[in-house]
Chains A and B, each alone.
Chain A
Amino acid sequence: MRYLPKSPADREALLKAIGARSINDLFAPIPAEYRLERDLKIPRQMAESEIVDWFRERSRENGDGYCTFLGAGAYFHYRPVIIDSLISRGEFLTAYTPYQAEISQGTLQSIFEFQTMICELTGMEVANASMYDGSTAATEAVMMAVRLTGRKSVVVAKSLHPEYREVLRTYAMNQEMPLKTAAYLDSGRIDLQALEKEITTDTACVLIQSPNFFGTIEDVEAIAEIAHKHGAMLVVSIAEAVSLGIVEPPRQADVVAMEAQSFGVPLGFGGPYCGVIATREAYVRQMPGRLVGQTVDRNGKRGFVLTLATREQHIRREKATSNICTNQALVALMVNIFMTIYGKVGLKELAKQNLAKANYAAQQFGKHAKVLFSGAPRFNEFVVQTSEDPYAINSRILGHKIVGGLPLKKFYPELGNAALWCCTELTTRSAIDTAVGLVAVSERSVRAADADEEVDVEEVAR
C-alpha cells in the first residue's frame, strides 16, 4: 500500500522488538468470535490513475459545464486562484488545531486576522474562529441568546432560510425552546406588527436573515428596536456574505450568525462551508467555538493563542457553551484569503456587480412575469412568479445548460409557481437573456393555451 512507509522486513523487525510473534498477537484483546476473518466487501485497491478516472466520471455526471441561477444559501462566486495555492501548503492543510501555540503561530495569526475582518464587515466587536455552517451558527447564536437572557422562547422570521429553520427546530426540540414564526409582508420584509405580537416576556431573541431568503434586505434597525423594547435580543443571520460589501451591516444586532461560503469557498454540493458567530464584547463568554487572542511570550514578543477555553467542552464538559470541537479552520482560511484579496475596495465593487446583475435580471423577468417582493431593497436574489410550474420551465432551460431558479413550492407553497433566482458577478447577460426568453415563451404559451391543458411537469427538474 503506497501510503505505508514500512517494508515487510521493517514490520518483522518491529514485531521482534516488541516481542510479538505475529501481528495478530497485538489484536489478541479483541475476542476471537468478533474478529473479521475475511476481506471487507469494498472496491479493490485502485491505482491513482484509476481513482482520478473514477472521480472524473462522477464530475461529468454532476452538472459540469452548466451555468446556474441557483443561490438560496450557496452562491457561485469567482474564487481567486491563490486561495487554493495557499491553502494547499502542507503547513496549513496538514496541521491540527493550534493547541501548541509555539508551533502553530501561522494558523493562530491567520485566525486573528479572520476574526478582525469579520468584525469590520459585520459591525460586531468579536468574532469566533468558525462554526460548521450558517445553519448551525444561527442555531448556536440562538442558544447563546437563551443563556444570556435566561429566557426560553424564540421568534423566527419565516423568511429565514427554510433549512436553517429546520436545523433550529432539531436543536430546539430537546431544549424546551418554544419557536414562534413571524410572517413576511408583500414587500418581502418581516411583518413588524405581527413580530411584535409574537414577542413575550419569555422571548430570548428574534432571529432574522438579511438579506433574507428572498433576497430582501430587512429593516434591521426597526426590528432591533422592537426586540430590545421587550428585552429580547436580535440575532441576524447572513447567508450571502458578499452583500456585506454594499449593504449596511446589522450593527443593531446583538449576535450575527454568518455563512461565509460566498467568500472563496467552492459550492461543493453543499459543504464544507464556513459558519461564523460575531457579537458584542460583553457577550463573549457565552459565545461558542474557538477564539484566538493576542498575547506576549516570555520575552515580551507578540504572539497568539487559543483563549477563553473555559467556555469549551474539553474543559467544561457538560457545562460547556457548546459541544463543538473541530470547526471549519481550513475553510475559514479560504474566507480569510478571499477577504484579504478583495479588501476594502474590491468587496464593494464585487457586491456592486452582483447588485447590478440581479437588478438587470429582475427588470428583464419583470417584463414577462411577476417579480414578487418589489417593495423593499434587495441584493442579488429575487423571486419570479410564473403562470407555469417552474419545474417545467427549468427543465427546458436545462436543455440550454442553464440551471434555473429554485422552485419555492416545497418551502413556500403559498407563493404558488414561484422560484428564487440569483445572479452573481459570474452570471452573464447572455445567460440572463436566454433564461428570460424561455420564461417569456412559457408565459406566452400558457396565455395562448388559456391554461386549459394540464402542464406535464417533468421530474427531471426537481
Chain B
Amino acid sequence: MKPKTPKATRHVNQNEGLIFEKSSPGKAAWKLPPLDVPEVDTDQLLGNSARKDLGNMPEVSEIEIIRHFTRLSTWNYAIDLGMYPLGSCTMKYNPRVNEVVARLDGIANGHPYQPEKISQGALRIIKTLSDCLVEITGMDAITLQPAAGAHGEMTGLLMVRAHHQAKGNPRKKVLIPDSAHGTNPATAAMVGYAVENLKSNEQGMVDVEALAAQMNEEVAVLMLTNPNTLGIFEHEIHKIADIMHSKGGLLYMDGANMNALVGKVRPGDFGVDLMHLNLHKTFSTPHGGGGPGSGPVAIKKMLEPYLPKPVVVTKADKTLGFEYDRPESVGRVRSFYGNFGMFVRALAYILANGPDGLRQTTEDAVLNANYIRKGLEGTYDLPYTTTSMHEVVFSDRLQAKKGVKTMDLAKRLIDYGFHPYTTAFPLIVPGAMMIEPTESESAEEMDLFIDAMKSIAQEVEEDPQMVLAAPHTTRVSRLDETAAARKPVLRWKPGKS
C-alpha cells in the first residue's frame, strides 16, 4: 500500500469584496472600435425613452475583474478538486473536449433562425444525439427541447395529458412515490393534475399491491424514478408497468438516476412509456453552479404526435430540417430548440465512450457505490438493506443519539476536503445521508472518503460539540439562514455592506 496523504490542508486564499466596492468613475474594461456609420443623437431618436443614467453599475478594469472572479472561484468546491458525492446529482467528471467543441465558431455562433441550408451541422448534431439517446433508452422518439429535468417532466406530462385527451378524458391524477424528487409533484401541479402519494414498502420500493389498489381510470400516469432515490432498482418494474397499462395509465420514468442503467438495461424494454434524461447528470455536461441543464424526453411511438414542435426530420433530398406542421403537438416549451450547447457536450461524451465505454462507466458507478456502502456499513445506519445500484442512503440514526444530525456530519465532512453528500433526502429516510460517488472516483479517493466518514463517526462519540460546530476550516461557517429569510437582503445598495 502506498502511504496515504490526507485529502485537505489549509492554504492561504484571498479576501475579496463585492465588485461595486471596487468601482470608481473612469475605470473601464471595455473598448469599442470606431463607429463606421454616422453618430446619432440619442435624445432625438428615442425621445422620452432615452435612458439618462445606469445607476450603480460598476466601473472597473480588466485585471480587477480577472482577480475578482478568480478569487471568488477559489471559495468554491468543485468536481475538479475532488469527490462530490451528492446523491441523485451525478457529479461526474466534465470532460474538457466537450468545452472545446462547443466553442467551435460555427457551433457557438450559429443563429437559431439561420437558413436550414447553412444549419446542417447543428441539425446533424441534434439528429445524432437524438438517435443515440433513443437507442440508450430503448424508446422510439425524443425531444431535446426541455431546458432541464423539471422542464422535461413538464413536457412529458403535457404529452401524457394530450394522449389521454385524445382518448376522450385527460384524467385527473398523477401517482408519485413518497421517495420522489420535489420536482415531480411540483410539475404535476403545473400541468393541472392532482398529486396522489404512493407509499413505499419496507424494502424501499413501490408497494405493488398498494399500487394495484390505488390505480384506476382517474390516474393518468405514475412518475417513477428507477433506480429510485434510495438507489434501489424497482425489480418488479414489469408488474408496475402492467398495472398502469391495464387501466389505461402510463408509466413515466424520472431519468435522474440513469447513470445506473446506461448500456446495461433500457427503460423502453421494461415497460416505460416516456422518460426524461438529465444531460447534466448522466451525460457529463457541467453543472456550472446550478445549470444550464438539458432535459430531453424520450417516448414510445404512441406519444409521437404530441412531441413539442419543431421536430427534426430528414427530408426527401436527405438534408435535415425542422418540421413545424404538427397539429397534435403540445406546442413549444421553450424558444428555439433547447439548450443546444449541452447537446454538443453530451454527444462528445457519448462519442468518447462508445458502447463499451458507456457500459464500463455504468459498471464502475455501481461498483463504487457498493464499495462505499461496504466501507461504511456498521459505522452508519443503513435503513434499507436492499441491494444498492449507483447510490446508497444511510441515516444519522446512530449519531443522532449524540445530538449530531445529517447536516452536522455533512458540515464536518467539508473539513476533510469533501463536498457533503445529499442531506435529508429522500424524505422517507429521517436524517438521510445520500451518497453517489459516480464512476469518476478512484479507489484511493473513495478510501479517503470512507476514512473521513469513519473518523467523523468516531469524533461524534468523543467530541460531539466539535462536530456540531463544524466546519472549522472554511472562510465562513454556519451562515445564518433564518436571518437571511426573515429580512431578505437580495441586492447590494450603496452605503451599505
Residue pair A102, B352 in contact (C-beta under 8 Å): no
Inter-chain CA distance A45–B354, complex, in Å, is 4
What interface size band does chain B fall in?
35 or more
C-beta contact mask, A309-336 vs B, less than 8 Å → 1, else 0? 1101111111110111111111101000
Contacts A328-B291, A328-B292, A403-B118; A68 near B111 (Cβ below 8 A): yes
Inter-chain CA distance A11–B441, complex, in Å, is 12
> 10 nearest interchain CB pairs?
A330-B288, A270-B336, A45-B354, A90-B80, A62-B121, A64-B106, A270-B112, A59-B106, A329-B290, A61-B121
Which listed residue (A36, A43, A360) contacts B354, Cβ 8 A? A43
Residue pair A11, B62 in contact (C-beta under 8 Å): no
Residue pair B154, A323 in contact (C-beta under 8 Å): yes
Residue pair B109, A270 in contact (C-beta under 8 Å): no
Contacts A126-B490, A269-B110, A293-B485; A102 near B411 (Cβ below 8 A): yes
Q: Which of B459-479 contact A (CB under 8 A)?
A: 471, 474-479
Residue pair A61, B332 in contact (C-beta under 8 Å): no
Residue pair B97, A48 in contact (C-beta under 8 Å): yes
Asked if B355 is an interface residue, CB under 8 A from chain A, the answer is yes
Contacts A42-B135, A70-B111, A270-B336; A326 near B97 (Cβ below 8 A): no
With contacts A23-B366, A109-B18 known, what are 15 further pairs, Cβ within 8 A?
A29-B235, A40-B135, A56-B101, A63-B106, A64-B104, A82-B62, A102-B477, A116-B56, A161-B335, A173-B330, A248-B49, A329-B288, A333-B288, A333-B289, A462-B116
Which residues of B have CB within 8 Å of A107? Answer: 72, 76, 289-290
Residue pair A11, B364 in contact (C-beta under 8 Å): yes
C-beta contact mask, B114-133 vs A, less than 8 Å → 1, else 0? 11111111101100100110
Which listed residue (A46, A61, A273) contacts B352, Cβ 8 A? A46
Which residues of A have CB within 8 Å of B158? Answer: 170, 173-174
Asked if A185 is an interface residue, CB under 8 A from chain B, the answer is no
Closest chain B CB from A452 CB (angstroms):
28
Q: Which of A192-246 contact B (CB under 8 A)?
A: 217, 244-246
Which residues of B have CB within 8 Å of A167? Answer: 331-335
Inter-chain CA distance A51–B151, complex, in Å, is 29
Which listed residue (A3, A267, A333, A349) contacts B95, Cβ 8 A? A3
Contacts A17-B371, A51-B97; A93 near B286 (Cβ below 8 A): yes
Residue pair B107, A55 in contact (C-beta under 8 Å): yes
Residue pair B120, A61 in contact (C-beta under 8 Å): yes
Contacts A132-B147, A271-B334; A6 near B364 (Cβ below 8 A): yes
- Give the contact stretch, choosing among A299-307, A381-389, A437-445: A299-307
Residue pair A344, B186 in contact (C-beta under 8 Å): no
- Give the contact stretch, choosing among A146-154, A350-358, A365-373: A350-358
Which residues of B have CB within 8 Å of A406? Answer: 113
Contacts A58-B121, A343-B60, A462-B115; A104 near B490 (Cβ below 8 A): no
Closest chain A CB from B482 CB (angstroms):
9
- Give the contact stretch, choosing among B206-214, B244-252, B296-304, B339-347: B339-347
Asked if A188 is an interface residue, CB under 8 A from chain B, the answer is no
Asked if B58 is an interface residue, CB under 8 A from chain A, the answer is yes
Residue pair A84, B103 in contact (C-beta under 8 Å): yes
Inter-chain CA distance A163–B191, complex, in Å, is 20
Total A-B residue contacts, Cβ distance less than 8 Å: 705
Residue pair A60, B111 in contact (C-beta under 8 Å): no
Which residues of B have CB within 8 Å of A176? Answer: 192
Residue pair B191, A113 in contact (C-beta under 8 Å): no
Residue pair B291, A13 in contact (C-beta under 8 Å): no
Residue pair A326, B367 in contact (C-beta under 8 Å): no
Which residues of A have CB within 8 Å of B326? Answer: none
Contacts A248-B50, A461-B115; A88 near B183 (Cβ below 8 A): no
Contacts A19-B374, A295-B484; A34 near B270 (Cβ below 8 A): yes
Closest chain B CB from A89 CB (angstroms):
5
Contacts A82-B66, A85-B66; A348 near B51 (Cβ below 8 A): yes
Residue pair A343, B28 in contact (C-beta under 8 Å): yes
Which residues of B have CB within 8 Å of A262? Answer: none
Asked if B408 is an interface residue, CB under 8 A from chain A, the answer is no
Asked if B153 is an interface residue, CB under 8 A from chain A, the answer is yes
**Can you sample 24 A-B contacts with CB below 8 Å?**
A40-B136, A48-B97, A70-B113, A76-B109, A82-B65, A90-B79, A97-B290, A100-B414, A120-B57, A161-B335, A246-B51, A266-B108, A267-B111, A269-B111, A270-B338, A303-B476, A314-B183, A317-B186, A322-B186, A323-B186, A340-B58, A398-B117, A460-B117, A461-B117
Closest chain B CB from A174 CB (angstroms):
4
Which residues of A have CB within 8 Å of B488? Answer: 126, 284, 291, 293, 307-308
Which residues of A have CB within 8 Å of B154? Answer: 323
Which residues of B have CB within 8 Å of A425? Answer: 32-33
Asked if A136 is an interface residue, CB under 8 A from chain B, the answer is yes
Asked if B419 is an interface residue, CB under 8 A from chain A, the answer is yes
Inter-chain CA distance A48–B70, complex, in Å, is 28
C-beta contact mask, A113-141 vs B, less than 8 Å → 1, else 0? 10111011100011101101111100000
Closest chain A CB from B109 CB (angstroms):
5
Residue pair A117, B57 in contact (C-beta under 8 Å): yes
Residue pair A246, B340 in contact (C-beta under 8 Å): no
Inter-chain CA distance A163–B263, complex, in Å, is 37
Residue pair B48, A248 in contact (C-beta under 8 Å): yes
Inter-chain CA distance A58–B108, complex, in Å, is 11
Contacts A105-B75, A107-B76, A356-B35; A295 near B479 (Cβ below 8 A): yes
Contacts A27-B264, A89-B73, A345-B28; A96 near B290 (Cβ below 8 A): yes
C-beta contact mask, A40-81 vs B, less than 8 Å → 1, else 0? 111111101011101111111111111010101110100010
